[in-house]
Structure 1
Amino acid sequence: MLDNQLCFTIYACSREFTKMYQPHLDKIGLTYSQYLVMIVLWEKQQCTVKELGEALYLDSGTLTPLLKRLQAAGLIVRERSIQDERKVLISPTEKGWELRSEAACIPGKMVEGTMLSADEFVSLLGQFKDLLARVHEKNVNADK
C-alpha cells in the first residue's frame, strides 16, 4: 500500500514543503532550488561547484543550469580558481548578499507552518538528518 511507503511519505512531504515556500520565494524572485544554492553560498561565502554539489546532493549537470540562471540574475559570480583552473568558484554578488536579508524570515515561517513545537521540530530534523546520512552512505557504498 502507498500509505506504508516511507519514500512516498517523504516525497509528498517534500512537495508540500515546496508549496509552503513558494509564496515567500516568489517575493524574492527565487525558485526553491536557487534558494538552496543561495543558502549554501550565504553560509560559506564562496565554494566550488563540487562543494556546492556535495552540500546539496546534486551533480554538476543539475547545478550548472541553476548556476547560470543565478548568474544571469546577477546574484552570483562564477570564476576560475587562480590556484587550480579546473575549479570554478561560486560566490554571491552584492545583489546576492542583499537578498539574504529579504530571505531571513523564511526559515521561521517554515517552522511555523509545520505546526510543530520547537522540541518536536528539532527532534524530527535530527531524525531526518540521520536517515539522510544512512541512506546516502548506503548509496555511496553501493556505487563502489
Structure 2
Amino acid sequence: MVLTGDGAGSGAGDGGGGSNFNLAPLVRTLAKGAALAIGGIFSITMISSTAITFFTLHKKDQFGSPSSLSTKKKNVSACDVCKGKGFYMCKLCKGNATIEWSPLYDPVFINPCLCPTCDGHRIQRCLNCLGSGFVQQAKG
C-alpha cells in the first residue's frame, strides 16, 4: 500500500460500521437472561425452604419429640431401661464396637468384625422407648 499525502487509505475513525451499532437489544437480552436466572434461583430457594419447613414440622409431630410430649405429659414417664436417655450400651459387643466371629463351626481363626447391632458406635437405640426416652403409661 502506498501512502500519499492526500489522505488516501483507511484511517482509524472513518466508520467501519461501528457507529451504527445498536446497544439496546443486547442490553435487553442480557437483562432478560439475568432476570430469568435470578427468578429461577429465587423460586427454587422458596420451594426448598417451604419443603424443609413442612417436613421439619411434620417430623416434630411424631412421637418422641418434646413438642408432642408437652401436650401428653400426663400419659408418659421416663423409660426405665435407658433411664430416659434413649440409648444404652450395645448388648451384643458390650461397648467394644467389634465382635469375634468365624464362619466355621469349629473355628481355627476368629476374626474381629464390626458389630452389626450398633455399627461400631458402641451404643444402640433403646428398643423399649424407641430412642425417645419416654414411654406411655397404661390408662386405668
TM-score, length basis structure 2? 0.27
Higher share of residues assigned helix: 1
Q: Which has more strand, going by share of residues?
A: 2
Between structure 1 and structure 2, the one with the greater Rg is 2
What's the TM-score, normalizing by structure 1? 0.26
